[in-house]
Amino acid sequence: MFKIICFGEVLWDVFPNHQKIGGAPLNVALRLQSLGNDVSMISSVGDDALGRKLLDYIAENGVNTEHIQITDAFKTGKVQVTLNEKGSASYDINFPSAWDHILINDTSIGSVKGSDAFIYGSLATRHHVSKNTLFQLLEYAPYKVFDLNLRPPYYSKDLLIHLMNKADFIKFNDDELYEVSGYLESKYHAMEQNIRFISQKTNTKNICVTKGSHGAVLLYNNKLYYNSGYLIDVKDTVGAGDSFLASLISKLLNNVDPQEAIDFACAVGALVAQSEGANPKLTTSQIEDFINPT
């Protein structure tokens, strides 16, 4: 069992007819916990009904909530989610929210020091309080996983470069890969060339790029691995990339063959995309049957 810390937003995804618990780092944390890891979340919620519901849900699903701060100065985060006809989501993220004000403390520093992996994204840096906390915690983390999860206008070229340079593992989607390649003045067009280019520029040996329904590419210890995706009927894409990342990191930490790891991660991401919401319950047998149908 690996000790993994996820840092950043915990919130409610508000759809036209319902609301669900979400936030990319929390989605990652919940999936990692379901795969048998010891997971803690560092974040903040408001001292309100939505915050209490969030804390109860997170605890009920086995994720450690001792590092989730409660503030009466800001409300629990919300995101208005709009789905297009293909199920792809766009987001309107309330600002400011409680998770913009995550404070540094000795308890969270100690947990990060003792972790096997520390997972963070760029959105949690949109306010200087949480950004400064993240920057400090990165100095203590032994293995750092950066999930870009770009949400305009809450990032900058310099910020992304700083966060990539701190990472041991970076996860992009294909649009993010090409955007960042442009920032770094890449002259390449092919995905694989840009992956290797970013790997060299940021001194990051391990990079994964998701390609939506077309699977993913993984650079791991200087070798490329591919999965071409699974044919599914997409219900909504919310959280699919988060469950993909959680599944991939869980397998790689367990020294599973990288090809098996990316196949498993793509399967989990596909199963989430054909379900409603970011965190559907998935069993091991369900995932294995999906990968190897009889």
pTM for the whole thing?
0.95
Which pLDDT score is estimated for 268?
95
| CATH number for the domain that contains residue 163 | 3.40.1190.20
* Least confident residue range of 76-90, 129-143, 262-276: 76-90
DSSP characters over 252-291: HHTT--HHHHHHHHHHHHHHHHTSSSS-----HHHHHHHH
Which structural domain, as residue segments, surrounds residue 170? Answer: 3-291
The span from the CA of 27 to the CA of 278, in Å, is 7
Contact 262, 227 (CB under 8 A): yes
6-16, pLDDT tens digit by residue? 999 999 988 88
147-176, pLDDT tens digit by residue? 998 999 999 999 999 999 999 999 999 999
Contact 171, 261 (CB under 8 A): no
Closest CA to 181 of 148, 224, 141, 139: 148
Is it the case that residue 250 has pLDDT exceeding 80? yes
Q: How many domains does the chain have?
A: 1
The span from the CA of 290 to the CA of 230, in Å, is 9
Closest CA to 150 of 130, 129, 179, 118: 179
* Least confident residue range of 84-93, 220-229, 280-289: 84-93
Q: How confident is the model at residue 82 (pLDDT cuts 50, 70, 90)?
A: confident
